[in-house]
Structure formats: C-alpha cells, structure tokens
Homo-oligomer: A and B are copies of this chain.
Amino acid sequence: MPKLSNTFNPEFWINHKNEKINPNISVDSVVFGFDLKELKVLLVDRILFTPDNEHIIFQDQSLPGNHCRDDENTDQAVRRILKELTGLTDVHLEQFAAFGDLDRLKKERDQIWLKAIGKDPDVRVLTVAYYALVAVDKIYIDQDAWKSLPGWYGKKPRWYGIHDLPDLAFDHKEIIFAAFDFLKEKVVTQPIIFKLLPGKFTLSQLQKIYEVVLDTRLDKRNFRKKITNANFIIPLKQKQVGVSHKPAQLYRFDQKKFDKRAKNLFNLCRF
C-alpha cells in the first residue's frame, strides 16, 4: 500500500521518519549477484495504486535508492538505504558515476509517480550511483527486511537477469548498463570478481563468472593453468560435497598474497 508520506517543502524535505533529506542528492545501487549461472541485478517494485488503494495504476521496478539525508555522506546513505529496502548489509559497495541529466525524471510515468508520492516533480535530482557485488551464498536476501519499508516500496526485492531486465523507473536501465560496463573494466585491473563468489569456490565457478562478466568463452585447461600459476588462489583441503558428479577441489582468494605480487602494469595495456 503506498502511503504518501513525504512532505514537499521548497527548501528541504522531511521524510516519514522526520529526517531532513536533501532534495537534490540521491543514491542508487546496482547490486550484482551471481547464482553460478548468470549475472543478476537486484530490483525493488514500484507500485502506484489509485487513491482508494483498490487498483494498481502501474507497476514497474527500480533500483534500490533514495534521497540522501543531510547528516550522512553518500557512502553512508547508500548503505542505509540498501539495508532498508533489501536487508542487505556488508556488501562490497563502490561509487562509479553520478547521473544528473535534466530530463532523467521527466518520463510521463515518473512524473506521475513523483507527484503521487508528494515530491516536487520539477526538482532536479542528481544521483550518485554505486555498484555492489554480492557473493552467491548471500544471494538470497533477507526475507523480512523489506516488510519494514516505507509504504511506497510495498514489495519484496527480487533478482533479475542482467540480460532480462523489466521496464525500469527513471534512467535506471541506463545506470545498470553503465555499472555493467564499469564492472567489466574494473575486473581487469582489480581482483573484485572474488566478491561475487563465496569464500570457498571451485575453479569452474571462477571460470564461469569471468565468462559471464567479460562475455567470452574460456578454455578450461588453459584457464586452470593460468589460475594455478597464480600463487594467490589457494587450494583448500576440502572438496565439494553433495553434488551428483565428481566433487570439485575448493579454492580461496588470498588478498595479502595478491597485494605482494608486483607486475609491470604496462604489459597489461591494450594500450
């Protein structure tokens, strides 16, 4: 049920919790998850009811995001809001871009939505976008957190395949693709891919996530040769259990060993 609890005020807004929120600055997070098959993005529902709450005017999805409070920086805001909307905590979150086009809230549906929830549809909102990486063993989000959301986020957050996204609010599809592009580049220079995997992973899982993110196919034997030459990917004394095939060796990523490894960056240049 959408409770229209935001009060519009030309200078600043007071939200339903009586907190001063900044009208010009919001945060949005693109949460990536990997279910061992494909890359997923976490979205929340946006449902607009008729004033009598009897009928749905429209329903679509949006990134988890909201305005910043004026007593928190954007890093704090994005963590707070992500927790409020999805229950996720302790994820790898990193700012990757700001979106501030003048028409980003101007689609007809978005204008209707903004008016309905009591916001000034003409106020300019610049959003600082973050990406988050969630390990496969955390991909089932807190089942209850979303129930305590402000009324206008009335639905459970859900995962969507990156190549199978629904209609999205505002410029959120653009933000997701920008995040995906950023991720592809980031993966080349930083060992962040491991944050999409559980602490213990198999080499096939590692290969698959590289294939999914870089949109490529890799040769199994060559992949394993390269990986096992790297001394920061460490075989554990454990194997998979409960799989109906030969159980795989488990490995972990060692950040300290990775940091020590010196490499000539120039040779990585494409250029």
Contacts and interface: CB of A to CB of B under 8 A. Distances in A.
Could you say how many copies of this chain the assembly holds? 2
A73 B95 contact: no
Given A189-B185, A191-B271, A102 B266 contact: no
A187 to B, nearest CB: 7
A56 to B, nearest CB: 33
Q: How extensive is the interface on chain A, given as a class?
A: 35 or more
A231 to B, nearest CB: 12
Contacts of A10: 11
Contacts of A264: 216
Contacts of A189: 185, 188-189, 270
A74 B102 contact: no
Contacts of A265: 184, 188, 214, 216
Nearest to A100: B74
Interface in A12-27: 22-25
A169 B266 CA distance: 34
Contacts of A230: 271
Contacts of A210: 266, 269
A188 B189 CA distance: 8
Nearest to A128: B98
A100 B78 CA distance: 12
Contacts of A74: 98, 100, 126
B271 A71 contact: no
Interface of A: 10-11, 22-25, 68, 70-74, 95, 97-98, 100-102, 124, 126, 128, 184-185, 187-191, 193, 210, 214, 216, 218, 230, 263-266, 268-271
The 9 closest A-B pairs by CB, nearest first: A24-B24, A98-B98, A74-B100, A98-B128, A185-B189, A268-B268, A73-B101, A188-B268, A214-B265
24 contacts: A11-B11, A22-B24, A25-B124, A25-B126, A68-B100, A71-B102, A72-B102, A73-B100, A74-B98, A98-B128, A100-B128, A126-B126, A184-B265, A185-B185, A187-B269, A187-B271, A188-B189, A189-B189, A193-B271, A210-B266, A216-B264, A216-B265, A218-B266, A268-B268
